[in-house]
Structure 1
Amino acid sequence: MSNLEPAPAEIDCSNLDAHLEVQTLEPRPVPLGGPRAMTVFRTLPQRQRSLIGAWCFLDHYGPDDVSLTGGMSVPRHPHTGLQTVSWLFSGEIEHIDSAGNQAIVRPGEVNLMTAGYGITHSEFLCVESTILHGAQLWTALPDRVRNMEPTFENYRPEPMNGTGWMLNVFLGTLAIGDQTST
């Protein structure tokens, strides 16, 4: 997660006393879209912790057999001053927003919607999906960009492969040896 402190103190988690400094947050079930909707497991916000750095919501859903639950059905709703990062492990969701963007979120892809001064959007399960599993993180935008134009980006990373490993860089860059992924 993010940490906005310029020089945060390091916590040695192998130290037996470190558990006193580490806070474990248990997710709670939340119906997404109303009482008959799909359940997400929300870790943030909580009474004792409203955010971690810029992260203000953290939801995990699934694996959800949509033949039993109906899956995700979230009608158009507004956002301002934040970003949503949607990452699917299985299933597909259609995103439509008021800035004219339409996209299908697929497994292994990340959608980044920046609400800026305001955007409305909907998220609906695609008919072909049988199991839905994913995560959504929300970040609070810093004041300098909180009132920017809304944007939407879909990332399909090209995997980097090495002996015994595979890596996807969704946002930003990472250099490993003589390889760089963007």
Structure 2
Amino acid sequence: MTGVQVLTPREVPLGGLRAMTVRRTLPARERSFVGAWCFVDHYGPDEVATTGGMDVAPHPHCGLATVSWLFMGEIEHRDSLGTQAVVRPGEVNLMTAGRGIAHSEQSTDSTSVLHGVQLWVALPDAARDAAPAFEHHVPPVVSPAAGVRAAVFVGSLFGSHSPVATATPLLGAEVVLDPGASVTLDSPEDFEVAVLLDTGTVTYAGRELAVGDLAVVEVGTRHTPLEVVAGESGARVVVLGGPPFEEEVVMWWNFVGRSHDEVVAAQEEWNAHGGRFGYVAGYVPRSDEHWWIPAPDLPGVRLRPRGRLGRAVT
């Protein structure tokens, strides 16, 4: 039988003083990555009139790329490259932080319900100091099986290919299944492949999942097809994958580095308003509470690198 590791989500606040709550499955104590995917936040559906929506003030990133994918609502993205873009359902925004970038995220005034995923990718050592960049893509919807619709926003699946550039081979796709429908994920044999259940009921590689679960099949344990089978209510899932990411990283707050000292340098420069991360123009907070998010104090111990199987969650 195929070995499936199921990660259950934990609730965490996202953003500053008016934080919205998200369900996080990566990083976890038992696993740091799926391929190079290193961070999975799943949120909504949230009634914006009740929750206040998303209002994440300017904050920094380095050593990673962010991938935004929505099911409902809209988010305005601004960054220190001067980019102003709206994230909409079915459209992917990929921001490569490289050596350093800052950005803000706000749900738009027209958004009544906000629902989606926020994903991070760890950049390999050869690419982590590259210049920051931003890409936008609208993937076509394909039908790989009866009652199944898929949009491949990163990588290739079901004969559909995304042109979005990534520093390592990756797979990212939304798959919607009608009640009782099924599909086999034709990903490369050297990929570890995960399924995040967004709505409905589903079985992946023989394991039944709860909403918010992230189920991972590793390379070397794929003894049966990677089949996704929807239950009586149908299902929507996000598929993530890639070759095992073998580098060790130091992940803390919004930074991915290779050592404690690298993270300290990033934290100090951001809080000192240094030039490394740039300035986000045009962000207007919905209250007078915050114009930017300062980096929190570092723990009183040296941060340790983490590999694929993880260490302490930060």
Q: Indicate the TM-score class for this superposition, using the shorter chain for normalisation.
A: 0.7 to 0.9
The sequence identity of aligned pairs, in percent, is 60
Residue 154 of structure 2 is matched in structure 1 by: 171
Determine whether 1:89 maps to 2:78.
no
Q: CA deviation at 1:163?
A: 7.2
Distance in 2 separating the partners of 1:78 and 1:149: 14
Determine whether 1:147 maps to 2:129.
yes
Residue 41 of structure 2 is matched in structure 1 by: 59
Q: 1:156 aligns with which of 135, 138, 148?
A: 138
Distance in 2 separating the partners of 1:51 and 1:174: 20
Cα RMSD (Å): 1.9
Q: Helix, strand or coil: the match of 1:24?
A: strand
Distance in 2 separating the partners of 1:78 and 1:53: 23
Letter in 2 for 1:69: T
Q: Helix, strand or coil: the match of 1:170?
A: strand
Residue 9 of structure 1 is matched in structure 2 by: none
Letter in 2 for 1:25: L
- Residues 11, 22 of structure 2: 8 Å contact kept: yes
Letter in 2 for 1:171: V
> Which runs of structure 2 are paired with 1:114-133 in the superposition (5 Å)?
114-133=96-115
Instruction: After superposition, give the CA deviation of every residue in 1:117-176 in whole Å (9 maximum; x if it has no partner).
Output: 100000001000000000011111001111111011111112235773433222334564
Distance in 2 separating the partners of 1:88 and 1:102: 17
- Paired residues in the alignment total 161
Letter in 2 for 1:172: G
Q: 1:163 to 1:55 in 2, by over 3 A?
A: closer
Determine whether 1:39 maps to 2:31.
no
Residue 4 of structure 1 is matched in structure 2 by: none
Q: 1:160 to 1:26 in 2, by over 3 A?
A: closer
Q: 1:70 aligns with which of 52, 60, 74?
A: 52
- Residues 99, 129 of structure 2: 8 Å contact kept: yes
Q: 1:48 aligns with which of 30, 44, 48?
A: 30
Q: 1:102 aligns with which of 59, 75, 84?
A: 84
- Residues 160, 181 of structure 1: 8 Å contact kept: no
Q: CA deviation at 1:116?
A: 0.5
Distance in 1 separating the partners of 2:126 and 2:161: 28
Distance in 2 separating the partners of 1:114 and 1:153: 8
Q: 1:175 to 1:41 in 2, by over 3 A?
A: closer
Q: CA deviation at 1:110?
A: 1.0
Q: Helix, strand or coil: the match of 2:6?
A: coil
For structure 1, the residue ranges without an aligned partner over 5 or more in a row are 1-11
Distance in 2 separating the partners of 1:69 and 1:41: 15
Q: Helix, strand or coil: the match of 1:145?
A: coil
Q: 1:46 to 1:93 in 2, by over 3 A?
A: same
Letter in 1 for 2:49: S
Instruction: After superposition, give the CA deviation of every residue in 1:52-108 in whole Å (9 maximum; x if it has no partner).
Output: 332221100000000001011100000001011110000000000001111000011
Decide which moves more: 120-129 or 40-49.
40-49
Letter in 2 for 1:84: T
For structure 2, the residue ranges without an aligned partner over 5 or more in a row are 163-314
Q: Helix, strand or coil: the match of 2:50?
A: helix
